[in-house]
Structure 1
Amino acid sequence: MLIKEFRVVLPLTVEEYQVGQLYAVAQTSRENTGGGEGVEVRKNEPFNNIPLLDGKYSKGQYTYKVYHLASKVPAFIRMLAPKGSLEIHEEAWNAYPYCKTVLTNPGYMKNNFRLVVETLHAPGFGELDNVHLLTSDLLKQREVIKIDIANDPIASGDYKAHEDPSKFKSEKTGRGPLVGCWEENANPVMTCYKLVTCEFKWFGLQNRVESFIMTQEKRLFTTFHRQVFCLLDQWHGMTMEDIRVLENQVQEELDRQRREGQVRGITAASD
């Protein structure tokens, strides 16, 4: 089992990020769905009385999605995995500013694969040490990795000039471009504390796959949050009611795109 905490600093308020994150998720789902692959939204509904983070949060929005991923994994997994097994089921409890996401593969791996992403969004530069209330033993296992959306290198295939924070300047807010030690002068500023726990029980492959998954998580967190910031002028000023309407529209689009068209979006970085 691997435990890593990724800390993503952003020039946003916690309230702004709630809207921006959901808007970007909708856009990303569109870009990665087509030709029989992508995101299938099965449930998107409110939840209540489910204790999260030691009971601090208990209500919010629940989503249940299935990711059809044949082209999204490295070749050595595709070769080993039976047909139909490359489906990841995602349950998410969004009790903002806290969110918990659990990914499993019930069709094949069953209890031998589990990826949990717990996120707390808070003001500041990522200086809080234990927002996830980990025990002393888990703290010893945890590795902290800070992500700089403007300066961290990304794969050439992931680069999009219009999603480069070092080049983007928001017309609505005046924020950006993010250059040099931009965090020192950022106002507002917040951090996404993303605790990732990965368990993949498969003799001979466990370490390799867990390491690969963590590498992909960092890659996704980096590219996604670059996108959130660079879409700022598109989502800034939207309300949560606007977001729910958008999500319903996107869900219909995803169902149609999965049945039609070609495979789209991000694939495994390397084989």
Structure 2
Amino acid sequence: YTEKRIYLHNRLPTWVQSMLPRVFYIIEKSWNYYPYTLTEYTCSFLPRFLIQIDTTYQDNNGSSENALDLAPDLLEQREVDHVDILSDEFSSRETTPEEDCHAFVSSKTGRGPLQEGWKESTEPIMCSYKAVKVFFEVWGLQTRVEAGVHRAVRDIILKGHKQAFLWIDEWHGLTMEDIREYERKVHEETNRMVLSNGTGAVADGATP
């Protein structure tokens, strides 16, 4: 279990800052028990705002119909969105050359470059299944805000999974001890950068 507070006040436009409390942060709570994770995001001054992301990983190409064992009522409501790290574009910007999976070849594993139809022909392959739920129960804003959050979360998922493939030579072969040490260094470096530039983007985190 990890919990982080992400302070955003100084990163927002001035006109937005004027309408928000001085102490404004997002709380991220994450429960990791591989191959499952549960992550929740709440806001310090919006009690009716919640993002919940359930994740599981399976060794297939996305063929599982109900990988997260959703209840029948949730299955009726869900919209299935296949995120393709090769061909999908971001909703708000273009893909940079560093994010393009068409030409990358892993020097450690020999995997790549990805080609059209890669999901049907690539071995080994793993799929990350996610159920993203967004709640913003404010009359007049709910539909627009929830749709916008879903688009933003999709972009984050797309970028993260592109990087998981493109950075494979950096993490392939790491032990669990190596990963924990890497996480510790990233946490320390992030806090150092925040304190040096005064943005207050990430202030604290706890791992019981």
| TM-score computed with the length of structure 1 as normaliser | 0.68
Q: Who is 1:108 aligned against?
A: 45
Percent identical: 36
User: Given residue 8 of structure 2, which amino acid in structure 1 is its aligned partner?
Assistant: L
Q: Who is 1:68 aligned against?
A: 7
CA contact (8 A) 1:92 1:99 kept: yes
User: Given residue 201 of structure 1, which amino acid in structure 2 is its aligned partner?
Assistant: E
Q: Who is 2:27 aligned against?
A: 89
CA contact (8 A) 1:158 1:223 kept: no
Offset of residue 162 of structure 1: 2.4
User: Given residue 20 of structure 2, which amino acid in structure 1 is its aligned partner?
Assistant: P
Find out whether 1:99 has 2:10 as its counterpart. Answer: no
Q: Of the candidates 157, 175, 179, which is equivalent to residue 221 of structure 1?
A: 157
Q: Who is 1:160 aligned against?
A: 96
**Does the residue aligned with 2:86 lie in a helix, a strand or coil?**
coil
Find out whether 1:205 has 2:141 as its counterpart. Answer: yes
Q: Give the unaligned 5+ runs of structure 2.
A: 202-208
Find out whether 1:194 has 2:130 as its counterpart. Answer: yes
Q: Which has the higher strand share?
A: 1
Find out whether 1:140 has 2:76 as its counterpart. Answer: yes
**Does the residue aligned with 1:189 lie in a helix, a strand or coil?**
coil
Find out whether 1:239 has 2:175 as its counterpart. Answer: yes
| TM-score computed with the length of structure 2 as normaliser | 0.87
Find out whether 1:121 has 2:60 as its counterpart. Answer: no
1:178 and 1:72 map into 2 onto residues whose CA distance is: 37
Find out whether 1:78 has 2:16 as its counterpart. Answer: yes
1:256 and 1:199 map into 2 onto residues whose CA distance is: 33
User: Given residue 75 of structure 2, which amino acid in structure 1 is its aligned partner?
Assistant: L
Provide the aligned length of Structure 1 versus Structure 2: 199
Offset of residue 120 of structure 1: 0.6
State the superposition RMSD in angstroms: 2.3
After the TM superposition, which parts of structure 1 deviate over 2 Å for at least 4 consecutive aligned residues? 68-73, 77-81, 83-86, 154-160
Q: Give the unaligned 5+ runs of structure 1.
A: 1-61, 266-271
Distance 1:182 1:70, change over 3 A: farther
CA contact (8 A) 1:63 1:92 kept: yes
Q: Which moved more, 1:156-165 or 1:118-127?
A: 156-165
**Does the residue aligned with 2:82 lie in a helix, a strand or coil?**
strand
Q: Who is 1:16 aligned against?
A: none
Higher relative contact order (CA 8 A, sep 6+): 1
Distance 1:237 1:88, change over 3 A: same
CA contact (8 A) 1:97 1:121 kept: yes
CA contact (8 A) 1:64 1:89 kept: yes
Distance 1:256 1:144, change over 3 A: same
CA contact (8 A) 1:166 1:178 kept: yes
Offset of residue 96 of structure 1: 0.6
Offset of residue 78 of structure 1: 3.2
**Does the residue aligned with 1:176 lie in a helix, a strand or coil?**
coil
